[in-house]
Amino acid sequence: MIQSILDTDLYKFTTSYAYFKLYPEARGTFTFNDRAKTEYDEQFVDDLHDALDSLSRLSLTDEEFEYMIANCKYIPQNYFEWLKGFRFESSKIEVSLDSERHLHIEVTDFMYKVTLYEIAVLATVSELVNRNRTVDIEAMISRLEQKEEIARSSDMRFSDFGTRRRFSFDIQQMVVKHLRDHECGFVGTSNCYLAMKLGTRMIGTYPHELPMFIAAVNGGPRNANYLTMEDWVKVFDGYLGTALTDSFGSEVFFKNFSKKHASLFDGVRHDSGDPIRFIDMAIARYKELGIDPMVKTIIFSDALDFPRAAELKKACEGRIRCSFGIGTNLTNDTGYAPCNIVMKLSKCQINRRQPMELCVKLSDVPGKEMGDPREIEVYRYLLRN
């Protein structure tokens, strides 16, 4: 199911390296959440244990090492030398069913290690759910060609962001290969292994977990976005310059978005809430800071399909640049309902001498918050006052 250590999103390695460099003693726990409240059985759990056990056999090959050194200039060689020795440890992955047959998964380790489990676990669960389902490949390719035509006619630029909830590795590989081979505005994939195999560009931004971690270990969410961008600049020195906005709500982000960071970062990523309102907010903030929005880019990545992306492209025309990260609609448009699963940082500590702090993710969509309800209310209070 998981083909390689590199069969994951680029941001897992960039974020891992940020922890590796700045917070080498930090530890954390990632917790699985099935938003659909799917009921699983004991056989599924047994099969999941077997699949997760097989992760321990993966290691970075010499070919993969050389590829990452050549194509990730922003991560130094010593990180990939460490990665050569990294192994997933199934003993660290706690899997269980509750009394309502809902699936629970947790992984705890040093932050630079534990972050690497997220995509591997999610993609494994998704593929196991789909393992006995038959896909009409001809019909799927037909739908894919229609999407490519929408992208062409809209002069759209988009990337594959679909690893975590893909139907299977084979389906994702087929889709990325088809996109690569047909001129349609496709600019790359977040999946490092497929980028290597298929000769496409690796694409990535930073994730929600980083500002969540910063907020937890630095006294709350008020300045967490600012501190996250400061850390990102320290580590990557101008590379990978797209800032994620909705970890605590985009209004909070734009209050933290300084002239310095607005100038240094190439753009921002929209991942929840009303995208039209977001366009207006981003443009207003850039103008307020004296920056021409037409030299900046919004990357849209919130549960997109191609007709919606085309609408957003039109809404941005002449106002701000835009690009799109499209996930499940590319890699799991098979006629079956895709899994609605996530795995987020739930608690962390900056070192063993400090207590574990609970992590919170807010959102631009009411009801999509993640974290302990009492801690969510604390964050909301801090942001109001």
Tens of pLDDT, residues 31-69 = 999 999 999 999 999 999 999 999 999 999 999 999 999
Helices 77-85 and 10-22: crossing angle in degrees, nearest 10, is 100
Question: What does the block give as tokens for 289?
Answer: 């800071």
In terms of Cα–Cα distance, which of 122, 175, 130 is closest to 331? 175
CA distances to 2, 113, 123 from 79, rounded to whole Å, are: 21, 12, 24
Question: Which contiguous run of DSSP H or E holds residue 10?
Answer: helix 10-22
**Is pLDDT above 90 for 385?**
no
> What are the pLDDT digits (tens) for 137-160?
999 999 999 999 999 999 999 999
For 153-216, give the DSSP string: HHT--EEE--STT-S-HHHHHHHHHHHHHS-SSEEEESBHHHHHHHT--B-----THHHHHHHH
User: Residue 205: its pLDDT value, please?
Assistant: 87
Q: Model-level pTM? A: 0.96
Task: Identify the structural domains of the chain with CATH numbers, from first to last.
Answer: 10-133+338-356 (3.20.140.10), 137-331 (3.20.140.10)
List phi, psi (to 5°) of 352: -65, -20
pLDDT in tens, 61-102: 999 999 999 999 999 999 999 999 999 999 999 999 999 999
Q: Give 168-199 pLDDT, tens digit per residue.
A: 999 999 999 999 999 999 999 999 999 999 99
Position 234 scores a pLDDT of 97
* Average pLDDT estimate for 258-284: 97
